[in-house]
A and B are shown apart, each in its own frame.
Chain A
Amino acid sequence: MEFAEHGAEAPKRLGIGEYLVRHLREYGLLFALITIMVFFQIVTNGTLLKPVNVTNLLLQNSYIIIMALGMLIVIVSGNIDLSVGSVMGFVGALAAVMIVEWEQSIAVTVVTCLVAGGLIGAAQGYWIAYWKIPSFIVTLAGMLVFRGLSLWLLEGQSLGPFPREFQMIANGFVPDIFPSGLSQGVADLLGARRVNMLSLSTGLVAAGLITWMGMKSRAQNRAYGMDLEPLAFFYARIGITSLALIFIFYKLSTFRGLPNVLLTMGVLAIIYAFFTERTVMGRRIYALGGNEKAAKLSGIKTERLTFLAFANMGVLAAVAGMVFAARLNSATPKAGFALELDVIAAVFIGGASMSGGVGKIVGAVVGAFLMGVLNNGMSIMGIGIDYQQVIKGLVLLAAVIFDVYNKSKQA
């Protein structure tokens, strides 16, 4: 074998073709997202990327993305959670009842809702982890139970409205901390009516961070002899991602600035990406999903991890529930109906494997965006909900088929 001679690790520079084949999945996803965005931008005559629509797109998908973070962990651990839509609806109803009927303060309500979500997740996780009851069954039961409980809590009616402060969770914007003189100057320079400097600078910082981290990990990969991404690819990927970020944040800045939800979502996504990729516990979850018996024999407390994965999912469903209720300014018995399917689809489109052990936070987020852009674009075009369902279903199927095909080709 050729490597036998090398002995030590000599970093190999792969040909572009070979590299592409090996990393087709990651590029494929990014490429698909871009293609779909360009397509809708054209067929909607530019409506898709109008500042107001970009803001809407983010707000509309925030709760799916928030739940996709937890769902990724559940799926990587080798399980599934079908109850998140119902739990989300239930927590929204709980918030409405507490604020509107019981007149509790927002702080008390938010804390109670988060605890309730955690307890619900923990209760389901208990049966799954310690009693080894399949997660499909337990959470299917949970889905029915909490759908029923929200109906009961709301007595079949919608409940609202919420006070302004609560609505801010979903509909508020982070105030611009830069002096207005500066904003006006930049706006004139860019020929826009107004520019929110906080939003624009966040975009620039994010782009800078992505470039810096990309460079750093490339240097590390070189040092440790991993596959080196061809330079052209590296620059193209970093360049496109950075430009896209700056572009999105610029669009936001010419509307109302940085939505509160985007901030919450962004911070959560970064925390979860760090957790899954860089912490001991994150690593153990992948091991658990990859081979539970081997993980157990390596000293990993597999039951506890499974339990925590579901408890965490419950907390995130609660966050999503509050965001959703705040956005609609009311809690309805139908809130979150069938949403678990969108969340699960986002995770699988993002490249997670049904058998567990494989998947990334970035993938899940991009997967959720992809679904979101599809939803939004088709709605703008006036495509009926019937066709929308069909198309979304086919996209999910295509993504998974692509995965399976890709894997069989590499074997």
Chain B
Amino acid sequence: MTALLEMRSITKEFPGVKALDTVNLAVKQGEIHALVGENGAGKSTLMKVLSGVYPAGTYDGEIHYDGALAEFANIAESEARGIIIIHQELALVPLLSIAENLFLGNERAIGGIIDWRQTNQRTESLLRKVGLSEPPSTMVDKLGVGKQQLVEIAKALSKEVRLLILDEPTAALSESDSQALLDLMLELKTRGVTQIIISHKLNEVRRVADTVTVIRDGTTVSTMDAETDEITEDRIVRDMVGRDMADRYPERDRRAGGMLMEVRNWNVWHPLHTERQVINDISLTVRAGEVVGIAGLMGAGRTELAMSIFGRSYGRNISGSIEMRGRAVDVSSVSKAIDAGLAYVTEDRKSLGLILEESIQRNITLANLKDVSRNAILNEAKETRVAQDYRKALNIRSPGVFQKVMNLSGGNQQKVVLSKWLFAHPEVLILDEPTRGIDVGAKFEIYGIINDLSAQDKGVVMISSEMPELLGMCDRIYVMNEGTFVGELTAQEASQERIMSLIVTE
């Protein structure tokens, strides 16, 4: 096989940060090439260099594509050569239909007037290719993330794609959606589409990749070829973090103390479709020092449950009661919920968790300005100290705490959100997909933090679509489906099969 793409000693600097330092990457024609590395290693940056987001001249090094030197000035030029990138954050217009999104900027038109018949026909055939059966006129905001991801791929296919780049495509997907997506990747491979996938889910990498390149701290550390080497997760992890990692889940003394939080008969209706009940009579308990999981498929209502508890941030006609340490508490607004000892780490860090234009420091202290001020006047020296402590404790990769959060890699942004809520010193921390987009090393650190909270007799509620994570971390797991709890399993009873069967039999 010949090389379709060769990136030679690519170096890219941002003010104060050398994101890439002489990185090399060679991608063979027709293969699936995985790019892995810790958060902030430079994976997304490398792909942005390749696709012209950072135009030629803003980086050092050479890109050879399809046998010639490529110097893209913008994304349009790279797309014209068949390089299509699907970014870490989806880029569909939510209030347009699937068909409109697919041909956005590339409309099927005759003399400036859109040819709807052709558009819809093409859309249908593209959707079939990615295994979707929605009508082309469906609004994108009605689709789940998994299906939106497939629409993105269909959009790429509409453009004569030769090299498809997927930046963490399965991060927000459920198990089955992820499987469907990986199957699709394998099928595209048989049709000759070369692909680069960035992922922190190493089992998926192992499943689809022909070649794996590991980058660490902005340089290439190793390249493994499935034909000649044996690619194992342990080996990838070792190259990623630079040392052996024996366990994926740190040990903890499992113990459950007195009752910490008790939610009783919780009911929530949909904010817009008022006749739809989203949460149906749920009761939930968390004991001191306990880590409680909530398992379920996408759309089971886990996020809605958490947000409705956290200051009624979701839904209407909410009924039910909440007690903390045996006393009824008022959680009717977010500030009251925080005062009652709750904290909620959102799954959607960009739009709900962070002020992207502001610094790490200002984001970390936002939910607890009380502790860095006196008489409502901020003590900035103290604020900086706090932020620096969390930056160190959670190993947030940045030149300092004054860096804008916008300029951090996805995983490091997640750590900033987590820091914010740890600094609010909650009694019960609700984590919604806390390790989404986070590398193995950082996951281990976050699990460690969860264990620390448990050791301090705090409670943790963990919503996760990664079942191994729930099984590895939780003392007790609630299984949720269509707005109700359909089962409750202790750590000893729980297994992937039992959770799935509880979901399916209901």
Contacts and interface: CB of A to CB of B under 8 A. Distances in A.
Contacts of A21: 15
Contact of A3 (B16, B362, B378): B16
A287 B366 contact: yes
Contacts of A290: 355-358
Interface string A81-103: 00000000000000000000000
B397 A283 contact: no
Contacts, number: 119
A1 B397 contact: yes
Best-surrounded residue of A220, A286, A298 (most CB of chain B within 10 A): A298
A295 B355 contact: yes
Contact of A296 (B217, B334, B377, B401): B334
B353 A1 contact: no
Interface in B397-427: 397-402, 420
Contacts of B384: 224
A45 interface: no
Nearest to A286: B358
B17 A1 contact: yes
A298 B19 contact: no
B15 A18 contact: yes
Interface in B337-357: 337-338, 344, 346, 351-357
Contacts of A22: 15
Interface in B320-370: 333-335, 337-338, 344, 346, 351-358, 362, 366-367, 369-370
B311 interface: yes
Interface residues of B, number: 49
A357 B334 contact: no
Dominant secondary structure at the A interface = helix
Given A224-B381, A280-B378, A301-B335, A291 B420 contact: no
B352 A293 contact: yes
Contact of A291 (B333, B356, B380, B398): B356
A4 B217 contact: yes
Contacts of A283: 362, 366, 369, 378
A365 interface: no
Contacts of A18: 15
Contacts of A3: 16-17, 397-400
B376 A281 contact: yes
Contacts of B335: 299-301
A353 B356 CA distance: 14
Given A280-B376, A290-B357, A293-B351, A299 B338 contact: yes
Best-surrounded residue of A12, A220, A287, A358 (most CB of chain B within 10 A): A287
Interface string A299-338: 1110000000000000000000000000000000000000
A297 B15 contact: no
Interface string A1-35: 11110011100100000100110000000000000
Contact of B313 (A224, A279, A296): A296
A226 B387 CA distance: 13
